[in-house]
Each structure stands twice: as C-alpha cells, then as structure tokens.
Structure 1
C-alpha cells in the first residue's frame, strides 16, 4: 500500500462545509445539519495511492469525500484489477460495508484526499430520526447503481474509442458537478493504467485509443493526467449526454 492515512479531529465544521456552498448539493434543515455535525467524528487524510478501504474489511466507519479524487475497484486472484467507478467530493464510501457487514470492493486515493469520518454504529439512528437523510442515503446508493449500469453498457457494447470518450466525458462531468473542474480547470488526474483497468483494454490498445482522441483535439495527454479540451466532442463520439444536472444530496 503506497502512502498513508491519518485520522485527524474535526477541522472543517459541518456548519462551514464548503460543499454546502455549491449549487448542485441540496441544503440541510437545521435539525439535519445538527445531527450530521454530531454524527461526524473526525477527518481522514489520505495520500495518493493509499488504499482507504479494503475489500473484505469490516470498517467501523463511513466516509464522505470532502476533497480529492479516488476510485473503487476489485482485484482477481491473479492480480488483474477492474476499476468500477470514481469518487469525488460529496460521494459516500463505506456504505456497502455498513449494510453487508464487509466491503465488497476496495477504494484508493488518486490524489490527496480529505474525508469526513462517521461512525457506522450510529447509522441506524439516522434512519430512525431523520427520514430525509435516510432517503438521501438511498438516493446515493441508487445513483451508484445507475452509474454502474452505464459503465457496464459501455464495456459491453461501445467500441474502444466510444468507451474512452464516454469515460473521459463522464469524469469531466462528475468533476464539474463536484467543483473540481470548470472551463479553466480541465485536468483529470487519471493515468493510462487507470483507463485500461476501467475499460477492460490492454495498455497498448488504451494508448492507441487515447492517441486517436488527442489527434481529434478532444484531449491533451500529460504525464500526470489528462486535459479535457472538448467535452462536447467526447460526448458526441460516445453518443452519451449527461442530462440536466439536478440537486443531489450528500451526508
């Protein structure tokens, strides 16, 4: 495991949470905000390459991503990795372990990450006392299912260049909604290995496919990631549109 994690006391108050100021996240009622502030137990700092959650682990905590990029993945016995999805600020990780007793996948930090830490043992009181927050957790789980459906469709039916275009367009949209990207900030910290492990392609095939996107002027590949130059062109190539953004919850 590269890097490390460090559990710190609360430094970012829920009342001053930067995510609450972003337009795409729903607002909390006063009672909900007070509950979440008491629910939070600290903050976890993770270096790039750190495994935040391990498949098979029985974690005592849930986490909401406050800053940074990460990804969910599974590994076969022979070491082959499949990246399932990517996580950005506002996403919750560890919920699967809370419901199914242990994690069915791992989570790794792509960049320095800060995560809000919540006690798994208090999850039932959230459903018991705040139906709105309980619905929010259901929404987050349902949204994850929808994303995985689209990823499966991409791997199963899209061509290599359509898959790569979809993934880049999808990540750009996710980063934009989460406040990581905009018209000026267009850098996604993803490597060609990440691409290959997400798309189910060899490194050689991935390299050739990404070169085609670069030749079309859609992306600019860099050593530590990729610059998205034409998200609309990527969407057109993938035959995918993100739809109208809606207010989304977070805990």
Structure 2
C-alpha cells in the first residue's frame, strides 16, 4: 500500500496568555452552557492555571504521550484522531468551545489519540494533578465531567454507526449536519451557516472514504443544493433536508455543562 504523505502537524507547545477572570468567561456569558454556582466558580477560578493560545495545525496532545495538562476549549476548534503506521488517519471527533480535553491521560497515564487544532484556539489550562480535588470537593463538577465523557461516548457511537452502516452520501450528510448543529449550539460560527476551515481531506479521514470518493460525494450534495462547497469550508444551504438525508435525529436542545 502506498504511504500517504501529509505535512506533519506543528508540535510547538501552546503559548501562555494573560489571565482572564473566570467571572468574565466568554463561555459563561454566551448563554449556551450551564451556569456555575458561586462556590463552583470560585473553585474553578483556583483550579485554572491560566489561558493558552494554540495556532491552527498545532498539536495539543500526541497519542502515547503523558501530558500533565487538561484544557477547556474557549474559542476555535480542532479534532481528535488516531493514525496507523503507514500514515493513514482516522478522525474520531471534533472539539469545540466548552469541550474538556486531556482527561484520557488522567485515567490511563497516556493519551490514546492525538488532538490537532483546525483553527487558532484559545484554551483554559488546568493541572491534571489537582483533578482529585474537584471530585472530592465538588461532586456536581465531577458529575459534569462524567456527563461530558458520556456525551463523547454517545457521539462516538453515532459516528461508528455512520461509518459502518450509512452509505457515502448519508455519511457526508450526517457529518456536515453534526458539525453544523454542534457549531450552532455553541455559537462557534455566529450567524453564518459555514463550516470552515474544513477540507476534503478532513472529511475523507472522518468518513473512512478515499479522497476521490469523498470528492464525488460532496459534489452530489452540492448538486442537490444542500451545501455550497468551496475549499477550505462548506456553507450549509438546507440544514433540515441535509439532516433528513442522513437519517439522524439531530442534537438535543439543552444547555450543557463545562469546566
């Protein structure tokens, strides 16, 4: 099998930035997430070590590494992935504002997947060594982390169903519907129904299709006037019909927790 060539992601560590008060957190102000109780907010303010900036294509976590850090995504987005020895990549899921990343290394002493930035990202940085303090002192926040982990499992089940049983057109429709609804739910793309930056290669590596097959599939969605495709991104023209084509029920309308 021919080895896939892809430019290596940037593994330069994220840069520290000036601290912002948790009381002024843009995620809290967005109205998309569960509000903290006063005591919870005080604890999270002490638990947090600061903010970091990570540039597009930089790597937050490397599969097999044992990072001491946990992050909450404040702005921007990225993706989780695994690779085979010959360079083939499977994108597992996407991370967006409010997502908590790095928990896996806390439990298994090493990350079982990598996380790369699709866009520039701002992150809150936590010391994973203090995670036990959170569970011990604030069971409600511990429940929130459990909720986030269970939600991630639920999403991965839907992704597995898509790769295993949906045809190529349904897979692509599902992926773009999922990304659109998730982005809209956290205000990632404001009022513009655009998923960007996202390339054909990202789509192919998520759907488990060849780049040629992915190209043909995306053109079919565009011919049906469900999307407008222009690298590096997609404009969703008819989200209801796109979701119906995928056979997916969509995301629940609820405020979700974050740390």
Could you state the TM-score of these two structures normalised by the residue count of structure 2? 0.94
| 1:230 maps onto 2:227 in alignment | no
CA distance in 1, matches of 2:26, 2:161: 34
User: After the TM superposition, which of the residue ranges 116-125 and 221-230 deviates more from structure 2?
Assistant: 221-230
Match of 2:6 in 1: none
Residue of structure 2 equivalent to 1:189:
197
Superposed, which structure 2 residues align to 1:101-112 within 5 Å?
101-112=109-120
1 CA distance for matches of 2:63 and 2:208? 20
Partner of 2:247: 239
Could you tell me which residue of structure 2 aligns to residue 221 of structure 1? 229
Matched, 1:127 2:135: yes
Offset, 1:72? 0.1
Deviations 1:145-196 (A, max 9, x none): 0000000000000000000000000000010011113543423321100000
Instruction: Say whether 1:26 aligns with 2:34.
Output: yes
Which of these residues, 51, 60, 68, is aligned with residue 60 of structure 1? 68
1:24-173 pair list within 5 angstroms? 24-173=32-181
Q: Deviation at 1:22?
A: 2.3
Q: 1:207 aligns with which of 206, 215, 232?
A: 215
In 1, distance between residues paired with 2:108 and 2:180? 31
List gaps (5 residues or longer) in structure 1.
Answer: none
Displacement, 1:43?
1.4
Q: Does 1:11 align with 2:11?
A: no
* 8 Å contact kept, 1:48–1:113: yes
> What SS class does the counterpart of residue 209 from structure 1 fall into?
helix
- Alpha-carbon distance between aligned partners in 2 of 1:5 and 1:59, rounded to the nearest angstrom: 11
Once the two structures are TM-superposed, the CA of residue 54 in structure 1 deviates from its matched residue by 0.4
Using structure 1 for the length normalisation, give the TM-score.
0.96
Can you give the 5+ residue segments of structure 2 that lack an aligned partner in the other structure? 1-8
Aligned residues: CA RMSD: 1.3
Question: How many pairs does the alignment contain?
Answer: 251
1:232 partner SS: helix
Q: Distance in 2 between matches of 1:24 and 1:187?
A: 19
